[in-house]
Every structure is written in C-alpha cells, then in structure tokens.
C-alpha cells in the first residue's frame, strides 16, 4: 500500500506504474473517492466536535425547559450525524478496497514488457552440459531409479501429486541441509514458519486481493501460503522495531501450496509445477532507504547464485519486465536453471524488493535515530525451492546408463556420489 498523500501528489507517476505493470486500475476513480472521503471526514469530525460542545452546554443548563429543548435539538443533530457517518463508512470501504489495488512504482531500470517473455537476461553462468547420448527427462530418470512415484502420487493426492522416495527423498533432504548450512553462515536466522496463515498477512504482503484465486482456503477462513514470505512478514506485524536491530535477516522454511490457476496444460508431468512443495525463503527487513534496499536486493540474489554455483548448475539471471511484476514489487530478478531435455532455462528463484509497500499494510515500523516512526523496507528471495530444483540436478548430472551423479556439495549429506543402479 502506498501513502495516500504520495498518491495525491503524484497521480501521473501512479498512472505510469499502472501502465508499466499492465494493470487494470483507475487512478482517477481512487482520487475521486479520496476527495469524497476527505470531505465527509471533515464534516463528521466537525459534527463530533459540535456534539461534544453541545453536550457540555446541556450539562451546564440550569433551566429545565431550556435543557429539554436542547436535548430534543441534540437528538435531531445526532440523527443527521449518523447519516453522515454511514455515508463516510460506505465511501471509506470503497476507498480502502481501491487503495489495496494501487501498484507500487517500479524502478526506472525495470524493462518494458507484457509478460515473462519480456524479461531481459542480465548474466549467464556455467557451461551447458553436452551429452554423447540422448538425455532422459527427470521423470524417466527418477522412475527408472525408483526415486519418485508419480502414478501413486496422483492416486493419493490428485492431479500434480507425487511421492519422492529413496534417493529422491534423500536428495531433497540434502539440498535443504546444504542451503541451511550456506545461509546460516551468512547470518540468517533459521525459522520454521506456518503454512496456514490468516488473511491479514496475505493482505499485508499483497497476495490478496491480486492473487487470491491461486490460494487454497480452509473452511475456517485461513489460507495455505505459497511461500514462507507470508508468515515471515506477518511475524513483525503491528510491531515497532529499533533501528539498531535492523536489518532483520530470516531464512524461513515451510511447506508451500499453490492451486496453479491458469496453468492448465502446462508442465502436467513431473516436478516443475506441483501443488505442494517446499521452500527455504530469504526475508529481510531493513531501514527505509532506497539505496539500502537495492544493496540487499543484490545480496539476496548473490546468495542464491552462490547456492546454484555450489550445486554446479548452469543458470542465468533475468530482470523481470513491468508486466511480470507483482502489485507490490519495485524490481525483481528471476534465476532460471538449465533443463537439458527442454533446451531452455526454467525459473528456480525470484528476488524482489518492495520498499514500504508491505510494511505499511502490515504496520511494521521502526524508530529512527531522531525518534521518528518509519515503515521498514522489505525484501525476499528464494534460497531454494524443492522439488523443482531436482529437475535441473537430475537432468544435468545424468549418465548414459541412467545413473545420476551427486553434486559434490551434497555428497556429505547423502553419503554417496552416485544415485541409481
């Protein structure tokens, strides 16, 4: 959420953000409701002050006839005020709904584009593998080595269901432990966070209302999160932090759930696009300074790249275009790993910064050096997401006989150097 004062003073900037992010939002409609809301608020506040003054006069009145007349007058006045309060409430509800849909302003370096096809490559890292044989897909390799069971996964969990087993399960555990070892050395606090989260945290992080259709909802009103970012950002909701305690750096682990609405017919087999998965998510809260946010955005991206280099996976980094940014993102990088059988890179990480878009919604503030309250800035990035990264590991490390080499950094966690027969 943006400051309404900022929106009033910079309507053209917000309109440009709407255009660049390819959103359907009417800034002028919001400003019209803001004008109406402000006018009614002034009227109601003046009437409340007048009511208080009138109440004092009634209390001081000594003549009973005068007192009765004043009480009758007050009754009529309160009825009029109740009408204005109801009008204010109705307008405020519409205003608040529109405020939740105001996009954050993207950084000037964000490229133009309608969707992810407009993302621009920043750098490419690692040599693409060459094979003297026709490489097998991760589905073939994992089934032939008894590392996964997709058929029973569908039987038990439905469409996009899966079981990891034997070396498939051990590989996933090893990736988690490797990532944990890298990130804790960098000063990130490891956290196991809830997946079932109240609506307030989704509103605060911006996943509602924009992405509500992609969320699973319980019969009790909670939602299942698609990233540990939601719970982790809710951790300091309605709190005041001290500047000396910033930055807050967290590594949030959780099961994650996504309905994958709009993904019908895409990646229907295997582990690329599943409904249930696991993530280790980097989350940072820092002081309200653009340069500081940019610095930490690069740091988060470098952390994930270090993990990818350690795994020996070829990847590239892209900067996301305006049409591929979420409502609150100022800028985002995606890291995409090479998948040999598809002949292309597939997304494994997303690094974003938000300025105070999320913290303003969540009311997460800190006390600055001068004692002034400020909304913190927030950032996040995937440290690792499984089982998707298994796709790249299994395919890039395969041998002609169907066995799969274990990346060196994972061997101590798995206790072996080769998976399969």
Active-site residue set:
258, 273, 347, 350, 388
Q: How far is CA 222 from the centre of its chain?
A: 17
For 155, what's the count of Cα atoms within 13 Å in the CB-facing half-sphere?
Answer: 5
Residues 6+ apart with CB under 8 A from 392: 313, 337, 338, 339, 346, 348
How far is residue 279's CA from residue 285's CA, in Å, rounded to a whole number?
A: 19
How far is residue 175's CA from residue 178's CA, in Å, rounded to a whole number?
A: 5
CB of 354 within 8 A of CB of 246?
no
CA Rg value for the chain: 27
**Cross-strand partners of 282:** 251, 381
CB of 395 within 8 A of CB of 147?
no
**Cross-strand partners of 249:** 284
Count the Cβ atoms, other than its own, within 10 Å of residue 319. Answer: 17
- Count, residues in the chain: 421
Nearest to 168 by CA among 350, 419, 408, 364: 419
Which DSSP helix (H) or strand (E) runs through 418?
strand 418-419
| Pairing state between β 315-319 and 331-339 | antiparallel
Q: How far is CA 374 from the centre of its chain?
A: 21
Cite the beta strand spans of 162-294 per DSSP E: 163-164, 189-192, 196-197, 216-217, 223-224, 240-242, 248-257, 276-286
């Amino acid at each position: 959420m943006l400051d309404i004062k900022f929106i009033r003073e910079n309507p053209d900037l917000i309109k440009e953000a709407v255009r660049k992010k390819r959103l359907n939002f009417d800034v002028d409609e919001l400003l019209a409701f803001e004008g109406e809301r402000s006018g009614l608020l002034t009227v109601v506040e003046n009437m409340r002050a007048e009511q208080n003054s009138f109440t004092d006069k009634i209390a001081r009145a000594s003549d009973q006839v005068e007192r009765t007349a004043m009480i009758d007058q007050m009754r009529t006045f309160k009825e009029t005020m109740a009408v204005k309060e109801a009008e204010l409430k109705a307008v405020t509800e519409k205003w608040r709904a529109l405020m939740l849909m105001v996009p954050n302003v993207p950084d000037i370096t964000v490229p133009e584009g309608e969707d992810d096809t407009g993302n621009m490559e920043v750098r490419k890292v690692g040599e693409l593998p060459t094979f003297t044989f026709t490489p097998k897909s991760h589905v073939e390799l994992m089934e032939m080595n008894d590392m996964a069971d997709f058929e029973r996964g569908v039987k038990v969990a439905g469409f996009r269901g899966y079981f990891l087993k034997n070396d498939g399960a051990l590989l996933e555990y090893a990736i988690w432990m490797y990532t944990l070892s890298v990130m804790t050395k960098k000063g990130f606090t490891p956290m196991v966070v809830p997946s079932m989260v109240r609506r307030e945290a989704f509103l605060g992080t911006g996943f509602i209302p924009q992405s509500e259709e992609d969320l699973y909802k319980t019969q009790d009103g909670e939602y299942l999160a698609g990233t540990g970012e939601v719970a982790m950002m809710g951790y300091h909701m309605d709190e005041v932090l001290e500047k000396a305690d910033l930055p807050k750096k967290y590594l949030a682990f959780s099961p994650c759930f996504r309905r994958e609405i709009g993904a019908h017919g895409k990646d229907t087999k295997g582990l690329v696009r599943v409904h249930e998965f696991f993530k280790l998510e980097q989350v940072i809260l820092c002081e309200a300074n653009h340069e500081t946010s940019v610095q930490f955005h690069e740091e988060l991206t470098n952390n994930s790249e270090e993990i990818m280099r350690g795994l020996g996976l070829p990847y590239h980094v892209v900067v996301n275009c305006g049409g591929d940014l979420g409502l609150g993102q100022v800028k985002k990088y995606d890291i995409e790993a090479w998948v040999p059988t598809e002949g292309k890179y597939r997304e494994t990480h997303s690094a974003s910064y938000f300025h105070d878009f999320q913290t303003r919604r969540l009311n997460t503030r800190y006390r600055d050096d001068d004692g002034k309250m400020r909304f913190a800035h927030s950032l996040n990035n995937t440290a690792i997401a499984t089982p998707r990264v298994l796709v790249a590991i299994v395919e890039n490390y395969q041998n002609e006989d169907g066995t799969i080499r274990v990346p060196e950094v994972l061997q101590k966690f798995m206790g072996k150097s080769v998976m399969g027969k």
